[in-house]
Structure 1
Amino acid sequence: MSLLLGDTAPDFEADTTEGRIRFHDWIGDDWTIFFSHPADFTPVCTTELGYTAKLKDQLSARNAKAIVISVDTVDEHQKWISDIEETQGASVQFPIIGDPEKKVATLYNMIHPNADAKVTVRAVYVIDPNKKIRASIIYPPSAGRNFDEILRLLDSLQLTDNYKVATPVNWQDGEDVIIVPSVTDPEEIARLFPKGHTEIKPYLRTTPQPNKD
C-alpha cells in the first residue's frame, strides 16, 4: 500500500505505553506527528525521543501532539523510557506504540526491505485533524531527524491552510511569505494582504506573514 499526500491516514488499534488506542479517535481534533524509530535501546532513537519530549509545549501551542512506533513490545518501550528520561533530561509524555508483528509498520510503509528488513526506517507523517496525510519524510535508520524542521513544516502547513500564501525556501515563522500565483486581481490582493506586497516578478510576490502583527 502506497500512502500519498491527501490520503486518509489508515486507522488501526494498537497497544501503547499509555494504553490501547484506536488511532483516529486518539488523533481527535489535533494535528499529529506520527513517527517510527528502528528499535528500542538504540542511541539515535534515544536522542530523538528525548528531544520530542522537550517539544511538548511547542507542539501543544500548535494544536499538535506526537505518537511514536517501533516493532518492539510495549514492555520494552516502558523499560526504555527510563533510559530516555535519565539520559535526555525530559519526561516522555506521549504514547509509544508496540508493534512486534509489524502490522502498523507495514500499513504505513515503514519497513523497507532493501534498506533493512528487520527494522523500520525513520518515517514521519504529519496528519491533520481531518485525518489526512499532509506531509511525509523518510530517513534511513542511521540518520537522526531534524525535529526543528518538522515544527517549521507544521507552521507552514497551518499558515498556508488559512491564507492564500506559500512559504519560500528556508522560511521561518514570522518571515515574509509568497502570494500564491492564483491570486491576480489587484483588489483581491489589496484586501487579502493589507500590509502591502512586493512584486519581484509577476509570478513572485512577497508579503509580510498575514497572521503576525
Structure 2
Amino acid sequence: MSDTNEKTTQFPQLNKPAPYFDAKTTHGQRTLEDYKGKWLVLFSHPADFTPVCTTEFIAFAGVAKEFADMNTELLGLSIDSVHAHIAWVLNIKEKFNVDIPFPIIADLSMDIANSYGMVQSGASDTSAVRATFIIDPEGILRAMVYYPMSNGRSVDEFVRLVKAMQTSDANSVATPENWKEGEEVIVPPPHTVADANGRKEKGYNYVDWYFSKKSL
C-alpha cells in the first residue's frame, strides 16, 4: 500500500485544458492566454548549453516560419534562469549563426515543468525531460510526446503532426500513418449497417466497409 503522504504528480491529459502558466521568458512575460486563437508547440529540454538540446533548438528555429504560416507558435522551457537562456541564445547565434526566434520559459521553481509532467524521477529529479505538447487555439491539449534524455526529437514530425491535426479538424477526417499534406485522408467509419452497406457507392477509394480513403 502506498504512503498516503507520498507526493503524486498529476500528468496533463489529452483533450483536456492544458495546464495554465504565467512565466518569465526571454521575450518577456508569457501566459497560456497569450496564445488563445493560435496553436502552440510547447517543448521542454533538459538544460541550456547541452549538445543535443542545441541541435533541437536549431531545428525548431529552422521551421519557425513554417509553423507561423500554420498559425502556430513555438515556446521552449527548461529549469534554467532567463539569463542562462539569453546567454545560450547568443552562443547559438555566435557559434552556429542561427537566430532563435521564439521565447524560452525560465522555470527555476519547476512549477510549470511539474504541472506538465516534464520532470520524471526515472530520468531526473532536477531537469525536464524532452517533452513536447501541442495545444490548440482553444487551449486544449491535443498531443504530447516524451523522449529520453539521450536522443533528440524529430522536429519535422511535429510540423507534420500539426498539419495533420489541422486537416482533421477542418475536414472531419483522420489521417493514415506518416500522412503528408496532399495525400489521401481516411474517411471516418460508418456508424450504421445501412451506411456500411452503402459505403462502396460513395465514390471513395474503397477497400472495405470500415476502410476508405478520399482526396481533399
TM-score by length of 2: 0.89
Amino acid at match of 2:183: E
Q: Deviations over 1:106-156 (max 9, x none)?
A: 111100011111211000000000000000000011110001000111011
| 1:31 partnered with 2:39 | yes
**1:127 equivalent among 125, 131, 135:** 135
Amino acid at match of 1:171: W
* Deviation for aligned residue 1:174: 0.9
Correspondence list, 1:26-65, <5 A: 26-65=34-73
Residues of 1 paired with 2:126 and 2:134: CA distance? 24
Residues of 1 paired with 2:151 and 2:42: CA distance? 17
**1:112 equivalent among 105, 120, 134:** 120
**2:205 equivalent among 189, 198, 202:** 198
Residues of 1 paired with 2:95 and 2:158: CA distance? 23
| 1:92 partnered with 2:100 | yes
* Deviation for aligned residue 1:164: 2.6
| 1:179 partnered with 2:187 | yes
Q: Deviations over 1:49-80 (max 9, x none)?
A: 11111112100111101000000000000000
CA contact (8 A) 2:190 2:210 kept: no
* Residue equivalent to 2:27: 18
How much identity, in percent, do the aligned residues show?
36
| 1:163 partnered with 2:207 | no
Amino acid at match of 1:120: A
Residues of 1 paired with 2:206 and 2:97: CA distance? 48
Amino acid at match of 2:205: T
The alignment partner of 2:16 has SS state of: coil
Amino acid at match of 1:9: A
Residues of 1 paired with 2:31 and 2:162: CA distance? 23
* Residue equivalent to 1:73: 81
Amino acid at match of 2:25: T
Residues of 2 paired with 1:119 and 1:141: CA distance? 10
Gap regions ≥5 residues in structure 1: 191-195
Amino acid at match of 1:105: A
CA contact (8 A) 1:105 1:120 kept: yes
Gap regions ≥5 residues in structure 2: 1-9
CA contact (8 A) 1:51 1:88 kept: no
CA contact (8 A) 1:34 1:125 kept: yes
TM-score by length of 1: 0.90
Q: How many residues align?
A: 202
* Residue equivalent to 2:3: none
* Residue equivalent to 2:17: 8
